[in-house]
Chains A and B, each alone.
Chain A
Amino acid sequence: MSSERPPVPFVVLAAIGVAFVVMPLVGLLSRAPWQTAVGDLGTPEAATALRLSIVVSLAATALALGLGVPLAWVYARVAFPGRDIVRALTTLPMILPPVVGGVALLFAFGRRGLFGPALDAIGIRLPFTTAGAILAATFVAMPFLVLTVEAGLRSMDRRYEDAARTLGAGRWLVFRRVTLPLIAPSVFAGAVLCWARALGEFGATITFAGNLPGTTQTLPLAVYIALETRPEVAIMLSLVLLAVALAILVVMRDRFLRAL
């Protein structure tokens, strides 16, 4: 720690930076209708959105785990030609404007999309269904999991895998009994980040899955709609999302609270 006095312009700009982030949060808290909080959250549309959000975000996380952990393993362990390009493509949804993701999903899996009719033929309809909302959330959230797990795989001591193999374990058993437990912290961190992103998903969901209460209207969508009609409900739902974010910050403090 340096004890030298920091330059004044830096301190001033840093303070403005903090205020810029904190002021909206203070604004939200100051307008919270604490007296009617329970009633506001208990309204049918709020409760429905809350329940749906939990289902969608957990399902998206499960889907991302099922596909993303093997994908991260392949990225970390298999040197195939074009790996960097494929990895860039699967990371794209992380930085792509979500609404663009939604449009892209629509033209891929929508009724008139490239693969839509084929899916329709086998009885799978995605747009404007809960499955569609899950797909949209997975699309934007999975890269967080893949990148985190890949980093974990790359930093683990691979000699443990060698040791397991000399003890008679085949590659699948090594993965299950040695690799996975050793990268468990990374898988957990990736899953939490992925879940948080899925929970907050708005743009891709509303574009691809629409805004149907009970089917695709998740918390962020409900907040947006309620702002017009019942702002106190919007505030309370926002506070729920804020509380979740804070809880994640606490759980993942090693990742976020310590300087890199």
Chain B
Amino acid sequence: MTAVLLRASSTSRRFGDVVAVDDVSMHVQAGEVVGLLGANGAGKTTLIRMLLGLLGTSAGTVEVLGGPPDRARRRRLGYVPQNLGLYRDLTLRENLAFVAGAYGAARPAVPAELRSYADVLIGDLPLGAQRQAAFTAALCHTPEVMLLDEPTSGVDALAASRLWDTIRDRSDAGVGILVTTHNMQEAEQCDRLLLMSDGVLVAEGSEHDIIGDTTAIAVHTDDWARTFAALNAAGQPVVLDGRAVRVAEGDPHRLGQILATEGIAARLQPVPATIEERMMVLARTTSGAA
């Protein structure tokens, strides 16, 4: 029976009339990496702040390591915000010294890959190294559960996979990790995904589960510019896709009609949607319903 390190049970949070988080239940177990996805305004940030104990709940409960997120429990938690939480005008070594001092922990060793950067100001390091440094700092007090905000945003593919090696190292050692991301490459690296939209947890599971049965339409044609113009003029959510054209959400029949009136020959093929397209469809339905 794997320990549940983070749990939200029917958690809600309102700000005046706005319901930022609506009856959300989720959990993160030891040894797993869970990705939290959602458009802006979906409620991700509010949920995270409740899990961190920075914000109270309006309804439901939040548990960190088996109890409410008080200071004692927060000491056993590691958090890396998007802007790193490091001091840009201090060196790597000095930053690690500060964090260690603040948590009363032993100063962590500078990891091998960062050794050449040990006495360089954080502000002068390349982004990949900065992110790795931030992660190292968050580990110095050996947390049992971690929250990472877009850990590899902006970093090149190779450095990102190296960073994920480090993250996975920790999860293999039993740490439970919650990652928020906008990035499909990052989402792929997680064991399980949670998709929030408009405060509600809409889907959960693998990438396949998240996309569900949302489909997009790929339009294969010789004259992409005219095809694009025609569909765009008709108000369809159409985008370029290499040399083809893709409609995020649409009725193949209707699309066929539009193209026929323009005299454009094309082959229409339903394809699985991307996660972003799923989010877009969700955003449309909620704003349509409102």
Does A associate with B in a complex?
no
Q: Which residues of B contact A (CB under 8 A)?
A: none
